Structure 1
């Protein structure tokens, strides 16, 4: 059986192909006609409404406030519990200031679908009935791995897990379920997916991304958008939401490795590595985009006309809504110091191309300031009209004028077993077996184990940040029915076979979490009475600035615990539960197995137990390079000079390119043999395609899933040193013991292009190499 990259062609016989193509052509034409007609109708509605709006009403549409601003409370930053809306504050915001959007939850806490429906219905009633034009509010929330701010919703593994799964179908399915449960919460706008390229393991938000490869991020980002918006981007459908690509552009590569700090990027780097995932998402029809909080080459992105207007809106042709990140227009004045006043900051951002400001508290300053700027001629009203057109298009596309809310009673599958199974499946396929010395895994079910480590008995670290609350600190309040790693192992092999001592624990010290080793000696003593140790290490949950760190090594106490357990002579299985790869080179040589689970969600404990004891054969692949040392953070996409041949006695071999584990690495309990890598031609022209096929055979005794990954290398390039290798295609297959499949891919010269020093895409003749696993073949691209 051959697997074709162009799916529709793989299943049609030659006899029926012309008929099928004709039918497809007719359907495509009809679909395009309907889309064009719908667009004309939508545009007419937008222009009719825009023509009736005052300047103040237009500016109000461009402001977005956080929910606490209109909740009853002592101030705008917190609300009383239980949450109630303050009618006078709601009227001031929506009627007096004509605010067009609300985001976030109150008190940083998840609400039930019924509570969401009640709150958003009240907001929409004011917007529709008490304002002059009755324009509905668009409500947005960060639902980045499930409906993260809804109690009882299905929490999926974080995006980094989804990248590790390499399973397009599961990514799309998870996004569709998230859209369903977000709409069940009466919320139509989701600030997801994260499309940032994330090659820096120091960065606190790497777990929110698809990792460090542009092609992987583009492929899975499109799947997520299709899941959120539907295949035809019909976001007015009651089970779809408007997606929001973020964070445009170059957000996760600051020079310091810390959140919202400056970076330096060449035009080549920006276009070669950071732009492809966003371009793919724009082409996929994503309706909205959120802007990076960073500074590139000294210019805050929120004030960069070249990036926001020339690149995004003109070159990429993005017609949707451009929204800021949290308070970022204000930061142009208070943090970035490029605007002497808040008003000047507003002028810079709106003129650069921002359509909506996530204020989120002091909306009066934004609204009054922007109205004054237009009247003073410092912001043209046509720029305001363009922004409001974009906002209204999304509101009409979401069908908010006809159906401003969605009732949870109409969503019977919310939190269902069917949805939970999809979350479990993603967790299971994302778990990545990095080391398995002497086949110590899977463990036998009659084994006696010690489960230890600070991540062994907490749901918080399984889920990560953006789970029921911003930093994930409220997770345990909502997750009693799910299994921690400890509980899952106990269910798997029986409580009598499991000893639990945390050894090291996370403790709250004032505002910060510290580690305590008050039970380390007890854990070491317990290890002497078991057959194996399941050591659950990593980090506590965090994101954004609270997640900044200065030492990428695994913490000192966790390292000490590991070293003392290793010294007992019992086999140690290291389970890594972390949002970014914490360096483990001080202990890795002496542990028998390493299992990376990332942040796998509410069913991560169950999935891990099934992997450890052989019910599931692991199939995850690393979506990033796992570094060996803190001063060796070389990503998998790098130049040949990073792999210089060293000379014994002159150079330090350890200082060469030396990741602990490389991008794409991931073991299985079975073995796969690759053979017969075949190219359709040894030479291709610039208008020709290259067919690449390889045979993959399961040579072990267990059924397993394998991701076939196609890499190419440009052996020589002009002017710019070529990357050592690039991922061009991947396909996940399943093979029974002894089964073989021929997997076929199609490459084009476009796949071999690179961005030259002038910022332009260059397809250059020369020699290339294709590599799939241990198979290599060369070919030549002709002039």
Structure 2
């Protein structure tokens, strides 16, 4: 669409972008102000004005764009004078997620343009160092923010920030997109572990503490010095309060709660001197934060007098109505100072230049954004720090996971573990006891670290990438002695000589952002094996200590009942072995104790989604701040084991990059069917015989779709798995005019065929009678729709649907963003 047509009227800069129907701007006068004194550095402001006067319009626009290393070369960045670079969660040198720190430093160095270019403005490099320098192999991976919230220790959190900043500086980077200041209200939210707490006061205190550790203290000599980095407080505003805990959704509250709960941590962040704030994907009042002028400009910049940088999130500007990742002047007009346009930077650069050329009234807003970017870079002292590889800490790889930083991490692990049960003072343990360590999480780093670890979603074998790490099993061995004959390890809990105590480490699979959103707080162990393991050992007369790795409190009552002691360890990171110190109650001969307190209430039911503000008639199992010590005299009264689990909608099959509810997907070709695929990362997954390659791709949002390329006859299979149920009954939906709706693109699809089946027979040609060609589906926008009646007409029993199969042959390709059963006539997709 031509830019002039996109904006029939040119809004004056004093008029906010139009709000959606039924909305109203916030009342700025009701918002409290930070206790800060704005000090203008006139010398700096004069320098910024001189730099601005020397810039052409294309250079100004380029200055407010940030591109991802996977989509831009150093040569392109210099050619276009791009202002900022980032490495996304799945971007790395040469796409090598376990690249060395030297490779990272070389990459950052290659983008530096200040010394060799006549354009005297350095580039800034940002990264998601959200729990340590977590994209770098060999770094210290600290416990996540949910753990830090359980410590309630500002000094410890500041020390985590200090150590993280030093390790970032080793690789020459300048800026971390941290801390998350979300006040999580619904534990179903997949980013709960990125939040310190549901208590806004605690979030503000610890957020400010982390900022001071990363940046230093404003007015002090160490502020943004050689061993410090800039912060981006995120995500402004209300991302922790979205309806039903859905990431990037609508914040479900009135303005009073928006102020009292979600805004308060940002007041503390500004008081701590944060130099940038990141806008949220979420919306409030029906309008996305990337387009809310009343909040970005009127509250944050004018009322709060924040003169730092307001940055966008990953193509967040493209989610506004009428916008796309490559065209979004509304965000600039609303107050965004930097577009994060990882893979859309070229189109956005061209369209924004054209937009300002055709709308000269927008130039003052562009100039203000550029000045804020220049001020941000000057505060980071990029010009004086010089080339990344020549900075004082650059290349000091001995600082990565050094003893000092590991000890800080170990202290954070010990301070954040919450003792929920210690019946009859079962803990501490003794080296004289025969101990069996078991459970999936006992010797796996990926489960201890969670998301945002090397890759965006986390997961994978991390042992080789973090050689200085210590799993929980290694921590127990350190206490018992490596050659201690009384220590056994068996993940499945099978033993030869009966132990006195079994320590079982349960764990959620790693996840990040929307892929971690869930429908129930019920802990979902695979086929209930975890619960069976605990009960089996208990029935054998063995004492049981259970440790849970999770990104949020979970309903896990059966395990609590069957265990003698239970520890919520959340996501402890690469020093998970420090948990053993607590179980034995000693560190280097000194007695220690549990001190962690719950940063969120613990649910009494799997459907207790209001647990952060529970009703008196339905209190939490454990309240906010709960946590036992070894000194506490406690017993245990058996609690109920009725989860109250929410039934999941079987009509939602696939969305946002993952199978939904009780659906899972796998691949099949001539070599057979592979195992269930939970999360696609890196280079994707191939069928056993290589006939089909599926990988995660962006489709409007980051990695919210999959792309399949057929190299031979193969199938993409979605299978419904539900405890006590074997099939989905779609007869009612068929009678009501529903259809199978697949959103995405069919690039080469003549051979692609679909079937809804009760029984699956692999590549059996005779079963193809029940398949319908995708090329014959009705197109509604980017969605393919086939009425369920068409499957019934083929003789398929819609009472017994268990499989959705997408079959294809060599040359076929398909992008799939969503698969649902929905009313065709209503166009619901």
TM-score normalised to structure 1 length: 0.70
CA shift, 1:44, in A, is 1.0
Q: SS in structure 1 opposite 2:377?
A: helix
| 1:632/1:658 contact within 8 Å kept | no
Residue 45 of structure 2 is matched in structure 1 by: 43
Residue 361 of structure 1 is matched in structure 2 by: 343
What are the within-5 Å matches in structure 2 for residues 599-638 of structure 1?
599-605=571-577, 607-615=578-586, 616-637=592-613
Q: Are residues 565 and 551 of structure 1, via their aligned partners in 2, closer, same or farther at CA, if it must alter by over 3 Å?
A: farther
Q: Are residues 486 and 212 of structure 1, via their aligned partners in 2, closer, same or farther at CA, if it must alter by over 3 Å?
A: same
Question: In the alignment, which of 467, 480, 487 is matched to residue 498 of structure 1?
Answer: 487
Question: In the alignment, which of 501, 513, 516 is matched to residue 532 of structure 1?
Answer: 501
Q: SS in structure 2 opposite 1:375?
A: helix
Is 1:239 paired with 2:255? no
Measure, in 1, the Cα distance between the counterparts of 2:533 and 2:243.
Answer: 33
Once the two structures are superposed, residues 258-285 of structure 1 have per-residue CA deviations (whole angstroms, 9 ceiling, x without a partner) of: 3223332210110011111011101221
| 1:110/1:148 contact within 8 Å kept | no
| 2:181/2:235 contact within 8 Å kept | yes
CA shift, 1:292, in A, is 0.9
| 1:113/1:186 contact within 8 Å kept | no
| 2:459/2:509 contact within 8 Å kept | no
CA shift, 1:579, in A, is 1.0
CA shift, 1:367, in A, is 0.6
Measure, in 1, the Cα distance between the counterparts of 2:459 and 2:120.
Answer: 39
Once the two structures are superposed, residues 192-244 of structure 1 have per-residue CA deviations (whole angstroms, 9 ceiling, x without a partner) of: 11110013211111111101101101111111111111112655410111111
Question: In the alignment, which of 636, 643, 658 is matched to residue 619 of structure 2?
Answer: 658
Once the two structures are superposed, residues 727-757 of structure 1 have per-residue CA deviations (whole angstroms, 9 ceiling, x without a partner) of: xxxxxxxxxxxxxxxxxxxxxxxxxxxxxxx
Residue 100 of structure 2 is matched in structure 1 by: 112
Measure, in 2, the Cα distance between the counterparts of 1:456 and 1:293.
Answer: 36
TM-score normalised to structure 2 length: 0.67
Q: SS in structure 2 opposite 1:423?
A: helix
Measure, in 2, the Cα distance between the counterparts of 1:586 and 1:378.
Answer: 66
Q: SS in structure 2 opposite 1:536?
A: strand
CA shift, 1:327, in A, is 1.4
Is 1:563 paired with 2:535? yes
CA shift, 1:476, in A, is 2.8
Residue 57 of structure 1 is matched in structure 2 by: 59
Measure, in 1, the Cα distance between the counterparts of 2:621 and 2:110.
Answer: 54
| RMSD, aligned α-carbons | 2.3
CA shift, 1:320, in A, is 0.6
Is 1:598 paired with 2:570? yes
Residue 483 of structure 1 is matched in structure 2 by: 470
What are the within-5 Å matches in structure 2 for residues 408-557 of structure 1?
408-409=394-395, 413-474=399-460, 475-494=462-481, 495-503=484-492, 523=493, 525-526=494-495, 529-556=498-525, 557=528
Q: Are residues 379 and 667 of structure 1, via their aligned partners in 2, closer, same or farther at CA, if it must alter by over 3 Å?
A: farther
CA shift, 1:114, in A, is 2.5
Question: In the alignment, which of 272, 286, 310 is matched to residue 298 of structure 1?
Answer: 286
Measure, in 1, the Cα distance between the counterparts of 2:447 and 2:348.
Answer: 38
| 2:224/2:381 contact within 8 Å kept | yes
Q: Are residues 423 and 309 of structure 1, via their aligned partners in 2, closer, same or farther at CA, if it must alter by over 3 Å?
A: same
Question: In the alignment, which of 101, 113, 131 is matched to residue 84 of structure 2?
Answer: 101
Q: SS in structure 2 opposite 1:634?
A: coil
CA shift, 1:410, in A, is 5.8
CA shift, 1:452, in A, is 1.6
Measure, in 1, the Cα distance between the counterparts of 2:368 and 2:175.
Answer: 20
Is 1:223 paired with 2:209? yes
Is 1:264 paired with 2:252? yes
Q: Are residues 218 and 582 of structure 1, via their aligned partners in 2, closer, same or farther at CA, if it must alter by over 3 Å?
A: same
Q: SS in structure 2 opposite 1:119?
A: helix
Measure, in 1, the Cα distance between the counterparts of 2:156 and 2:508.
Answer: 27
Q: Which shifted more, 610-619 or 405-414?
A: 405-414
What are the within-5 Å matches in structure 2 for residues 714-753 of structure 1?
none
Once the two structures are superposed, residues 584-604 of structure 1 have per-residue CA deviations (whole angstroms, 9 ceiling, x without a partner) of: 023322321111111112112
| 2:108/2:172 contact within 8 Å kept | yes
Once the two structures are superposed, residues 395-430 of structure 1 have per-residue CA deviations (whole angstroms, 9 ceiling, x without a partner) of: 111111222322524676443212211111111111
Measure, in 1, the Cα distance between the counterparts of 2:228 and 2:499.
Answer: 50
CA shift, 1:253, in A, is 2.2
Measure, in 2, the Cα distance between the counterparts of 1:527 and 1:275.
Answer: 57
Residue 109 of structure 2 is matched in structure 1 by: 121
Q: SS in structure 2 opposite 1:401?
A: helix
Once the two structures are superposed, residues 700-731 of structure 1 have per-residue CA deviations (whole angstroms, 9 ceiling, x without a partner) of: xxxxxxxxxxxxxxxxxxxxxxxxxxxxxxxx
What are the within-5 Å matches in structure 2 for residues 377-388 of structure 1?
377=359, 380-388=362-370
Measure, in 2, the Cα distance between the counterparts of 1:330 and 1:220.
Answer: 32
Residue 670 of structure 1 is matched in structure 2 by: 631
Is 1:586 paired with 2:558? yes
CA shift, 1:578, in A, is 0.9
Once the two structures are superposed, residues 282-303 of structure 1 have per-residue CA deviations (whole angstroms, 9 ceiling, x without a partner) of: 1221000111111222111111
Measure, in 2, the Cα distance between the counterparts of 1:276 and 1:478.
Answer: 38
Number of paired residues? 577
Measure, in 2, the Cα distance between the counterparts of 1:206 and 1:340.
Answer: 29
Once the two structures are superposed, residues 170-192 of structure 1 have per-residue CA deviations (whole angstroms, 9 ceiling, x without a partner) of: 11111011111111110111111
Q: Are residues 240 and 370 of structure 1, via their aligned partners in 2, closer, same or farther at CA, if it must alter by over 3 Å?
A: same
| 1:245/1:278 contact within 8 Å kept | yes
Question: In the alignment, which of 373, 376, 401 is matched to residue 391 of structure 1?
Answer: 373
CA shift, 1:621, in A, is 0.6
Residue 350 of structure 1 is matched in structure 2 by: 332
Q: Are residues 527 and 263 of structure 1, via their aligned partners in 2, closer, same or farther at CA, if it must alter by over 3 Å?
A: farther
Measure, in 2, the Cα distance between the counterparts of 1:584 and 1:236.
Answer: 44
Question: In the alignment, which of 534, 546, 555 is matched to residue 574 of structure 1?
Answer: 546
CA shift, 1:553, in A, is 1.0
| 2:611/2:619 contact within 8 Å kept | no
Measure, in 1, the Cα distance between the counterparts of 2:76 and 2:55.
Answer: 18
Measure, in 1, the Cα distance between the counterparts of 2:288 and 2:496.
Answer: 53
| 1:211/1:217 contact within 8 Å kept | yes
Runs of at least 5 residues in structure 2 that lack an aligned partner in the other structure: 1-35, 587-591, 635-829
Q: SS in structure 1 opposite 2:317?
A: helix
Q: Are residues 455 and 382 of structure 1, via their aligned partners in 2, closer, same or farther at CA, if it must alter by over 3 Å?
A: same
Q: Are residues 331 and 636 of structure 1, via their aligned partners in 2, closer, same or farther at CA, if it must alter by over 3 Å?
A: closer
Q: SS in structure 1 opposite 2:574?
A: coil
Residue 145 of structure 2 is matched in structure 1 by: 159
